[in-house]
Each structure stands twice: as C-alpha cells, then as structure tokens.
Amino acid sequence: MGKLKIKDIMFGKIDGYNEFLEYGDDACKQFFFEFPNVDINKVLNGSVYYICGEKGTGKTMLLKYLESRARENPEVCSEFIRFKKEVDEDQRNQLKRASLPTQPFEEIIDKDVPLDSTIDCTLAWQVYLIKCIVFTLEKSQVEVFDKKDIIWKNLSLLLRAMYSDSIMELALKNGVKKILPKIKKGNIELNLGLGKLDFELEWNDESKRSVSFSYIAKKAIELYSNLTPTKGKFYVFIDELELSLKKTKKYERDITLIRDLIFAIQYLSEISKQQKYNIYLITAIRNDVYRHVSAKGLEINKPIHDYGIQISWQQKGGNIEDHPLLKMLEKKINYSEKAMGVAVTKNIWSEYFTNKIHDTQPQTFVLRQTWHKPRDLIRLFNIIQEIQGEKTIVNQETFERVRQRYAEESWSEMEETLTVTYSDKEVIGIRQVLTGIRVPFTLSEFISAIDGKKELFDEVDVLDRSGHKPLEILRDLYDIGVIGNYGNVPRFIFLGDQEINPMASFTLHYPLLKFFGASIKRFEKSVN
C-alpha cells in the first residue's frame, strides 16, 4: 500500500501557469520533469526561442520553469505575457488597424478591408515588445542597458510620449498591458510635456504633435538597436498563442497577429545577437496554430526551424518503465512524499498500484489512458484524487470509476479543437455518428453510419450537407487523436504516425471506446 493517501499527492494542475500560482516557484522547480529532448541551457542562452508542441504537452509549464530558473540569477529581470488573456479583442483589432496606415480604418467599408493575410502587424508588435522591455527595466534594479546613455533616455522619453495616456491606466489596472498607443488615421499624437527629445521628428501636423505611426515605430526600433548593453539579462516569455475558435474574421485576424508576432520576435532577437544584448524573447506555439498559419502560405517555417524546438513525449522502443511521462508521475509522487515527511518510495508502481490492471502491467495501462501528453496524465490523476482520494492504492476499480468522467473531459477539449473547422451543430453530428459505432470500422462503414443517422439527427444531416467529405472528417479526428488505424500495431498520431491510412480500418482510442458506447467486433480481449 502507498505511503500517502491519493488526496495528499501533488499531481499538479492542467494549466502550467496555475500550477506555479498554486504551489509556488520552489515546489514546481523541484517536481518539474525536464523534457528529454529539450536543452534548457540553449533556451536560456538565446540559441532557441520558439517552443512548439501539441496542446497539453507542457509548453506553459516549461516557460514558467525557464522563468524560475532564470530568476535564480539576481542580475535577471523577466516579463511573462499571456497572449490569450492580456491581448483582448479591442487590442487585437487595434493591432490590425495599426497595419493600415493609408486610410482611417473606421472609414473603410468592412468588405473593403484588406484580407488579414495581406497586412503586416510586425512593426506594431516590435514597438509593444520594446515598450515592455523599457518600461519594465525602468522599474527594475537590474542593469541590462546603460540608462545614463542619451539613446536610452531618448527611447524612454519617446515611448512615454507615445503611451502617456496609458501610463496612469497601467498603474491603476496593476499590470494590464496596453499594446499600442492611440492611433487615429494611421497617426499618433505625441505628448512631449514629459521632456525634450534630442532629435528631430517628421511631423504630419506639428501643432497637434501628430506623426505617422509607421514612422515613429521605425524610429523607436532604430533607437532600440543602438543602446549600450551592460551585464544584466532580461527575459520576455510569451504564452497562449491561440486562435479564436471557428473560422470567422477573428480567426483570420488572429492568424495574422500570431504570424507577425513570430516575425517580431525573430527581428528583435536578431538585433540582440548583432548588438550583444542580453535580451531573450521566448514564446510557446501550439502545433495546430503553426499548421493553420502555414496553411495560409505564410512563411514562418524558416525561423521556427532554425530557432525552434519541438516538445515530444514519444518513446520509440526501449523499456516502457523509462517512458518520460511515467518518470514525470514518479517524480511528482516522490516529491509529495518528501513534502509530507515520509520516506521516498523507490518503486511507486509496486507501492501505489496493483500488480495488474485488466491483465496489464500498471505502467502500460496508465499510458493507454493518455494521448501521451502531461495534461492527460494530470487530468486522469486529478479525477482519481477527487473521486478516490482516501485510497492509498490505485487498482482496476479506480480506473473504472473515473473512466467516464475522464473521457468526457478529454472529449470536451477535443470538441474545442474541432470547432475551429466545424460548426457547433457539425461537431454534435460527429459525436452522434461515432456513438455506437462498431470498431474496427472502414471508410465505407463510416459513410454508412452518416447515411443511417442523418434521417434521425438534424445535426448529422447538417454535417452531411456541410461539404465536409467523410475522409476529411476522419483525417481531422485522426489529427486530434480520437481515432487511429487498427492493426496488430495500431497507428495513432500521438505515437508519431503523422498520416492516416484511408485504406486500413479505424478504431477509437482506448479511453473513448466506452464513452462512445462502441461495440467491438473482433478484438475484445485487447481493449478490456
């Protein structure tokens, strides 16, 4: 029997940011499991600044861990930006407007606004990131640049002249980050009451102190590129680069904003390398976001290829006991034992798990419940903790009791991903088609399931008339791990098999079989 009750084990939070809020930097650093294919030092020294991975692979946790590691050095300052939370709808639209300098956005008929893929928000993002760096360093004791230098003073004054209307607002809102200053008809009005700039400006209207945003943005970047570096370091961590759900104008807009943020990070990182600045901009990018941006023909593959890493928890071959996800679970349990003052268990699998679960060793069975991502493992054991927290050992009954809840929460997350491509009704239709399906099934049997249910369910009829071909639907389900190709060695995307085989049979991933009430044709023993 386990030395701790399940309720006393710190399995962590599904969201890495919340995990650091809940447990604090020290605890999270101690039970953080370093990714097997990620060199932490390469990220911290600026050799890598794009962290890519599927949803739930631990990108946020890695960013927070990097931040906590960086802050161990007293000569380090950092800023953590959450795109999804801090860049709200108004600010996203303002970023888009800033890229339309020739006409006032407010006066353009909606249908005449250029396609988002044709506009460029890179300048706006660079100004924002420079503003974050300068304003944060002004409040910090860390010396990253020579603050006595005239160029620093000019840059600081210029940014304050641009953002003067928002400085008090920033203070009152306790850190809410304003992306851009007020822009009207492509111009901004500078407030030079804070001091005199040591250079001339090209005024559009000198009486109103009005200048072109494009011009003043390039001036800020020019000043930033000529600062005098010192020995301190500054890290900017940018997280939650997520698209608005559904293929709407917001979705198209976000593709452009994320694309141009990626380029802005690249351009500012190039300045850091050239000028020997200790400024490091590091961002996490979901693979689905990367794929959607790339699908628009937007060339972001080169910077990500050269300066990016891919988080992967896959293990090809070797001993299953060495699988990194299982090692992560072991580390969490061992840390919890230390925190509770009990002796650390050498083999948690014999101490906290029964010898067999459905005639399978517990390590194999646990992995089969997941999509080989930390979020799945944490979700699973948090549910176990909630339902069977007083127990000290995990057995077959434990998994049976949490199975439905775990599948529901997992499917709910998958539904969110599907809504980028499908309407709400179409997603319900997909669920109805899969409910009660016999596995393994072929493409023709999937088509028959649609045909058989479209007369019964309006949502399936909507799906059938949507223009989405059955193979397209199956490919999308494969890409998020709902289904895989059936065989002696099943093929799933989370096992590294990137392409679906349309000629082979399909099966649902194990945790979803009972959730969809699938009836099993020929392989009952292998899934129970």
Q: How far apart are CA 326 and CA 307, in angstroms?
A: 29
Tokens of 469: 């071909």
Question: What pLDDT score does 439 carry?
Answer: 95
Which residues make Cβ contacts (< 8 Å) with residue 56, sequence separation at least 6? Answer: 14, 371, 373, 374, 375, 376, 413
Q: How far apart are CA 266 and CA 258, in angstroms?
A: 12
Tokens 């759900």: give the residue: 245
Q: How far apart are CA 419 and CA 461, in angstroms?
A: 17
Q: How far apart are CA 192 and CA 158, in angstroms?
A: 8
Question: What pLDDT score does 122 carry?
Answer: 87
Q: How far apart are CA 403 and CA 400, in angstroms?
A: 5
**Helix-strand-coil percent breakdown of the chain, rounded to 5?**
55, 10, 35
> 183-215: string of b/e by CB count within 10 Å (b at 16+)?
bebbbbbbeeeeeebeeebeebeeeebebbbbb
Distance from the first to the final alpha carbon of the chain: 25
Dihedral of CA 389/393/397/398: which sign? positive
Q: How far apart are CA 368 and CA 527, in angstroms?
A: 10
Q: Would you tell me how many other CB atoms lie within 10 Å of the CB of residue 327?
A: 14
Query: What are residue 289's phi and psi, to 5 degrees?
Result: -65, -45
Q: How far apart are CA 502 and CA 497, in angstroms?
A: 13
Number of residues that make up the chain: 528
Which residues make Cβ contacts (< 8 Å) with residue 110, sequence separation at least 6? Answer: none
Q: How far apart are CA 278 and CA 451, in angstroms?
A: 61
What are the beta bridge partners of residue 78?
Answer: 235
Residue among 515, 517, 287 nearest 409 (CA) = 515
What is the chain's pLDDT, residue by residue, as a tens digit (528 residues)?
A: 678 999 999 999 988 888 888 888 888 888 888 776 788 999 999 999 999 988 889 999 999 999 999 999 999 999 998 876 666 666 666 666 665 443 333 333 333 334 444 457 888 889 999 999 999 999 899 999 999 999 999 999 999 888 875 544 444 343 345 677 777 777 777 877 666 776 777 776 656 678 888 888 999 999 999 999 999 999 999 987 766 555 566 777 777 778 888 889 999 999 999 999 999 999 998 887 777 776 555 567 788 889 999 998 888 777 888 899 999 999 999 999 999 999 999 999 999 999 999 999 999 999 999 999 999 999 999 999 999 999 999 999 999 999 999 999 999 999 988 988 899 999 999 999 999 999 999 999 999 999 999 999 999 999 999 999 999 999 999 999 999 999 888 999 999 898 999 999 999 999 999 999 988 875 444 443
Type of residue numbered 506:
F
